[in-house]
Amino acid sequence: MAGQHLPVTRLEGVSREQFMQHLYPQRKPLVLEGIDLGPCTSKWTVDYLSQVGGKKEVKIHVAAVAQMDFIMLMTTCMLQKELYLLTSWSRGQLKRSIKNSLFQSHYHEQHIKDISSYGHQRALVERVMDNLLIQVTGKKRVVLFSPRDAQYLYLKGTKSEVLNIDNPDLAKYPLFSKARRYECSLEAGDVLFIPALWFHNVISEEFGVGVNIFWKHLPSECYDKTDTYGNKDPTAASRAAQILDRALKTLAELPEEYRDFYARRMVLHIQDKAYSKNSE
């Protein structure tokens, strides 16, 4: 198991002013209860989704373990894009409800991307945009890790190599035990705020439908214009990574002893100059 276990704070009856002025700036995960999501919480049943989707074939991607099982629909035969189009009225009302409840002038990208069966589990990932995970129907368990614990998560791109976070192989991933784990359960009507860069793992406890609303916390010019889901690094971070790659290639011209020494000096320089002085 990971080290410290912490519950995600749950609050009910949060106003727009409270969220934007006091809670949102804290950059911590938060479960919001009691927000009016419109008729979708009762309307989006399996029967309804099957009716609007029809008997369309879907592509199923199955792996041998639940952690890599990306089945989007088990009990209804429809394409996700068909659901996105055919439930437009309910989606519009849901979006308006969220905007009226929590936001003023922010622009949101809304995606139905979380139709899942029991046991479905997404990899431990991070996004560069802020995210509201709205549990419309069904139940989920969500585990989150702070971006400040990234050095313990064995990252490969935006994903962790640790697939089974409940029973990790600590012989292979010993540092994972140092990561602080935040956890919450979501039921129909709950809304989870996931700040940008927070790693999250979502486990479905029954068939359900969720909606993610992504929005840009930084000025628009900081993001890759082709990035819809918040998967790509901010442009400045991408440029910095390219510069670092070039620096490492330059160091490769030196003998191994010198290369090792100056690479370590570079790491120390980054730690001294780039890391936040407020790091926990």
| Per-residue pLDDT reduced to its tens digit, 11-63 | 998 888 898 889 999 999 999 998 888 777 777 777 776 676 666 554 444 44
More confident position, 115 or 161: 161
The alpha carbon of residue 41 and the mean position of all alpha carbons in its chain are separated, in whole angstroms, by 22
Task: Return the pLDDT at 76.
Answer: 35
* Cβ–Cβ under 8 Å, residues 49 and 78: yes
Is 248 found in the same domain as 162? Answer: no
Residues 177-204: what's their mean pLDDT?
93
- Tokens describing residue 217: 């916390």
Q: Is residue 227 part of a domain?
A: no
Residues 164-168: what's their mean pLDDT?
90
Distances (CA, A) of 115 to 55, 208, 237: 16, 6, 32
- State percent of the chain over pLDDT 90: 35
Is 244 found in the same domain as 107? Answer: no
Is 262 found in the same domain as 192? Answer: no
Q: Is residue 229 part of a domain?
A: no
Residues 77-102: what's their mean pLDDT?
53
Is 257 found in the same domain as 126? Answer: no
Is 29 found in the same domain as 152? Answer: yes
How confident is the model over 84-96, as pLDDT tens digits? 444 454 555 666 6
Q: Give the closest residue to 207 by CA, choosing from 59, 84, 75, 63.
A: 75
Q: Is residue 278 part of a domain?
A: no
More confident position, 212 or 96: 212
Is 267 found in the same domain as 144? Answer: no
Is 124 found in the same domain as 201? Answer: yes
- In the chain, DSSP assigns E strands to 5-7, 9-12, 30-33, 109-116, 130-137, 140-145, 155-156, 159-160, 181-186, 191-194, 199-204, 208-215
pLDDT, mean over the chain? 78
User: Could you list the residue range(s) of the whole structural domain that residue 34 is in?
Assistant: 5-222
Task: Return the pLDDT at 207.
Answer: 79
* Cβ–Cβ under 8 Å, residues 135 and 187: yes
Is 180 found in the same domain as 263? Answer: no
Is 187 found in the same domain as 243? Answer: no
Q: Is residue 15 part of a domain?
A: yes
Taking 90 as the threshold, does the pLDDT of residue 236 lie above it? yes
Domain count for the chain: 2
Taking 50 as the threshold, does the pLDDT of residue 218 lie above it? yes
Q: Is residue 279 part of a domain?
A: no
Task: Return the pLDDT at 52.
Answer: 66
* Cβ–Cβ under 8 Å, residues 98 and 132: yes
Q: Is residue 150 part of a domain?
A: yes
Is 74 found in the same domain as 188? Answer: yes
Residues 204-214: what's their mean pLDDT?
82
Q: Is residue 280 part of a domain?
A: no
Task: Return the pLDDT at 26.
Answer: 94
Is 240 found in the same domain as 204? Answer: no
